[in-house]
Amino acid sequence: AAGVIQSPRHLIKEKRETATLKCYPIPRHDTVYWYQQGPGQDPQFLISFYEKMQSDKGSIPDRFSAQQFSDYHSELNMSSLELGDSALYFCASSLRQAGSYEQYFGPGTRLTVT
Amino acid sequence: AQSVTQLGSHVSVSEGALVLLRCNYSSSVPPYLFWYVQYPNQGLQLLLKYTSAATLVKGINGFEAEFKKSETSFHLTKPSAHMSDAAEYFCAVGANFGNEKLTFGTGTRLTIIP
């Protein structure tokens, strides 16, 4: 079965640079979620989109922005990167219209800021 | 606001012994609860979910969990531990029938002793 695809899997950036993470949800899923997992920490919710509209927002820095496109893929844009942004970034998708409560996670993008 | 507390950041059990990972939740509305497993350098895999149906929930890999409203608990168990169960386990609570953000516990690292 198709899973959530994230690219790139690994990304190394320097401080003050920008990064773009991409997420391709499971086909027909209408909701995308972004989470950030710092080293040794639990995943923290950043932002979500339902039918291409932002549906919820968590502890996402103002330096970060995200959107969901017409083909339902989503991108997380991160600017003025800081060392503390080094983390594993997960994308998850679900089919909210069907009343599904399950979020399926991608393998994550490991961002290292040097 | 919703939250989960996982008791014990590290749990060690012998191969073949009972696995018990504890999770207590706090929620002002009927909760939707999940257990996820994370293997090293991998994404989060859904083990099982509670969505207000049966209180005893069976998941993959022989795991199950029981929702106890009186104790606000959703502990994860497996009768007989296997070496392949060694991983990080996260309990999570979902808002809005599970279709919104997940709030994770701090995780429990399970070690299996041969």
pLDDT for the residue A100 = 67
Task: Verify whether the Cβ–Cβ distance B103 to A41 is below 8 Å.
Answer: no
A52 token code pair: 């291409």
Is B40 in contact with B110 (CB distance < 8 Å)? no
Q: Which tens digit of pLDDT belongs to each residue from A43-72?
A: 999 999 999 999 889 989 999 999 999 999
DSSP B79: S
Average pLDDT in chain B: 91
Interface of B with A (CB under 8 A): 32, 34, 36, 42-46, 49, 51, 90, 94, 97-107
Residue % of chain B over a pLDDT of 90? 73
pLDDT for the residue B29 = 77
Q: Which tens digit of pLDDT belongs to each residue from B78-104?
A: 999 999 999 999 999 987 655 578 999
Q: Looking at beta carbons, which residues of chain A come within 8 Å of B51? A: 101
pLDDT for the residue A96 = 79
Picking from B97, B101, B106, the nearest residue to A48 by CB comes out as B101
- Distance of residue B109 Cα from the nearest chain A Cα, in angstroms: 10
- Distance of residue A2 Cα from the nearest chain B Cα, in angstroms: 14
| A32 vs B52, residue with greater confidence | A32
Cis geometry, peptide bond prior to residue A8 (ω within 30 degrees of 0): yes
Strand runs labelled E in chain B: 3-7, 10-14, 19-26, 32-38, 44-50, 56-58, 64-68, 73-78, 87-94, 102-104, 108-113
B2 pLDDT band, cuts 50/70/90, is: confident
Task: Verify whether the Cβ–Cβ distance B97 to A101 is below 8 Å.
Answer: yes
Task: Verify whether the Cβ–Cβ distance A43 to B49 is below 8 Å.
Answer: no
Task: Verify whether the Cβ–Cβ distance A45 to B98 is below 8 Å.
Answer: no
Task: Verify whether the Cβ–Cβ distance A42 to B42 is below 8 Å.
Answer: no
Q: Which tens digit of pLDDT belongs to each residue from B61-79?
A: 999 999 999 999 999 999 9
